[in-house]
Amino acid sequence: MKLFVAVSALLATGALAQTPAGAPEADADLGQTDCTYEDASGEEQKTICQWYQTCHTSANKTLSTCILKGDKVCNMYSKYAEEGDIIAVHTCQPYETCCDTECCGVDQQCMEVSGNSAMKINWDHSGPFPLEAVARNDWKTQKGVSVTNRPRTCVDKVKTDQTTGQKILNAPVMDATTGFKAVYMPLLGLGVTALIFIMAIVKRQDTFLEMLIPLTLIVTSFFLVLTEGWTMALMCTLLAAATMASGDQDKKWLVWFQIFFMWFYFGGSNYFMFTGAVTNFFSEASGDNSISDLCGQCAKHFDFYKIHPYQLDYTQDPNDAVNQYSGICAPGFIGYQIFIAYGQAFALFLMVTTTVVGYLNPGEASAAGTKNPAATGVEMGA
């Protein structure tokens, strides 16, 4: 028994006296590579990356590690965004988007959270604190440190309405199509109407009334270009410009076209030129639609200007339509557009009325000697 104890003690002493085994070496024949990192004590350590991996060297040496080749490296910063120390590293698929600690898919977008969320915030190594509590504290932590960057999360771009089952806009993203519809097309429409306005006032009119009403129609169309009824607005500018430029010899054709256009503008149906494909904002505004409905139609048309509940402050009700839309689809601006639409409708009616009355009762003949056929007993016809 004593001999066994002595031998065991000798073996144990020999084992403790042995030097530690060396760090593993990468086998180049197997496509392996070395990857170094630092442990918690600051000492450099080594790991082996396989042939389908690569070594990601992080600015925070403790987070250097092997990742799959082709994956996207995402850093999590202590002050969010790209500010502060790197406190975590994860990878996303090449087709995904980095979003703090998440990976957003192709049907999602990364969005800052402003207050209406159950998320928690870990700001500069302190926390976690409920996001709403930080927002209520004027975006300061428990120790009074200002939170300058908001945490982010992935949200779906489109969601399903639980009542109707339809796909509705949830988190708008500014892509090429949306950018053209929400930015470039309205700007182009404003430029066109402004150009037509300048061209129209160059044409000298006989009376101030003849010039005032068509110009009013163009001015109202200038604002309505910023709605889903932009096509009708441009057509109104065309009609107004043609009215101002037409001579006495063209009044017959102008009267017919104005009457035809006004019939269509106020909801008349026809199968000659228009089949209802052109949206008229006045028809939408004068119907049964509420402000909320018009805001929703505007956001759907432009594929933008829809506010996600995460973007609202804790003081805003996410179920209130006033807080769901922004920009040219905001309720305040839509209300202003309704006022403009009624102004355009009255301007169109007055313009057509004055043109028809002027044609039926031309008064004195023009300098060119042109007379209204009706005044000479000739029936008006095509």
Helix (H, G, I), strand (E, B) or coil at 367: coil
Q: Say what the pLDDT of residue 208 is.
A: 65
Whether pLDDT at 197 is above 90: no
- pLDDT > 60? residue 1: no
- DSSP run (H or E) holding 54: strand 53-56
Is 361's pLDDT higher than 90?
no
Rounded to the nearest 10 degrees, the angle between the axes of helix 185-202 and helix 208-224 is 170
Cα–Cα dist 114/309, whole Å: 9
Cα 133 to Cα 21: distance, rounded to the nearest angstrom: 52
Q: pLDDT tens, 46-79?
A: 999 999 999 999 999 999 999 999 999 999 999 9
Rounded average pLDDT over 153-168: 80
Query: Residues 314, 132: contact at Cβ < 8 Å?
Result: yes
Taking 80 as the threshold, does the pLDDT of residue 90 lie above it?
yes
The yes-or-no verdict on residue 202 having pLDDT over 80 is: no
Q: Has residue 24 got a pLDDT over 80?
A: no
pLDDT at 14 over 70: no
The CA distance from 377 to 382, in Å, is 16
Mention every residue, 6+ apart, whose C-beta is less than 8 A from residue 2.
Answer: none
What's the pLDDT score for residue 271? Answer: 58
Gyration radius from the chain CA atoms: 36
Cα separation of 241 and 194, whole Å? Answer: 12
Average pLDDT, the chain: 81
CA distance 52 to 69: 6
Q: pLDDT band at 256, cuts 50/70/90?
A: confident
Scanning the structure block, which residue is given the tokens 């990742």? 67
pTM of whole model > 0.85?
Answer: no
Whole-Å CA distances, 149 to 79, 156, 297: 7, 22, 33
Could you read off the pLDDT of 151-160 as tens digits, one per residue? 999 998 887 7
pLDDT computed for residue 363 by the predictor: 64
Residue ranges of domains in the chain: 176-360
DSSP code of residue 101 = T
pLDDT tens for each residue of 208-227: 666 788 888 988 998 999 89
> Could you give the C-alpha distances from 17 to 5, 21, 24, 86, 371, in angstroms and in order?
18, 12, 21, 40, 123
Instruction: Pick the more confident residue, 170 or 341.
Output: 341
